[in-house]
Amino acid sequence: MTVLFGLVVFVLMLAVLASKGRPTAFLGCLCLLGLGCVIALSSFKGIVRAIA
């Protein structure tokens, strides 16, 4: 649980820093980071499924 919380805080801080305080840019960065996480997790899931 602690690792997951740390990852969430990291992603939020990354979005805040990339948006430079603009709310619209913050939401855009957050959406792009979320999309990247979904793509990475689905790729990882496919690799694990292929190995097992």
Per-residue pLDDT, 30: 80
Question: What's residue 1's pLDDT?
Answer: 57
Say if CB 41 and CB 48 are below 8 A apart.
no
* Residue boundaries of the structural domains of the chain: 2-51
Q: What is the pLDDT of residues 12-24, one digit of tens each?
A: 888 888 888 788 8
- Tell me the pTM: 0.60
- Establish how many alpha carbons lie within 13 A of residue 40's alpha carbon, considering only the half-sphere containing its beta carbon: 6
Task: For residues 6 and 44, give the distance between their C-alpha atoms in angstroms, rounded to a whole number.
Answer: 20
With H, G, I as helix, E, B as strand and everything else as coil, classify residue 13.
helix
Residuewise pLDDT in 10s, the chain (52 residues): 577 777 778 878 888 888 887 888 888 878 888 888 888 888 888 888 888 7
